[in-house]
Amino acid sequence: MFPSFLLVQISFCTLNQIHHFYTYAIQVEDYAFSTIIILGLLVFTMASYATILVTILAYSHLYTLQQRYLGNSEDVGVLDLKGLPPNETQ
């Protein structure tokens, strides 16, 4: 059993249409600036990660060169500031 009064539209229950002329422009502007801000933060984050990755790769390359120069012995000794053993002269 379906109440018939639910089928009748009450006079104050009309279509709720609000014309949004200026609010759309504000929303579009907010979206545009939020996209720029998010994109800027994304670029900054990716540049930071790239810098960290380049630094890690450079250190690993230097470590590899150091291991080749010194050999794989455990008793390396002390290196001077130029990276040569103290007994060798240039």
39-49 pLDDT, tens digit per residue, is 889 999 999 99
Residue 21 in this model has a pLDDT that exceeds 80:
no
Contacts of 70 (CB under 8 A, 6+ apart): 76
Alpha-carbon distances of 49 from 36, 45, 57, rounded to whole Å: 20, 6, 12
Residue 61 in this model has a pLDDT that exceeds 90:
no
**Percent of the chain topping pLDDT 70:** 52
**Cβ contact 85:79 at 8 Å:** yes
pLDDT at 66: 76
pLDDT at 4: 61
pLDDT at 34: 79
**Cβ contact 70:76 at 8 Å:** yes
More confident residue, 25 or 3: 25
The closest of 57, 58, 89, 68 to 76, measured between CA atoms, is 68
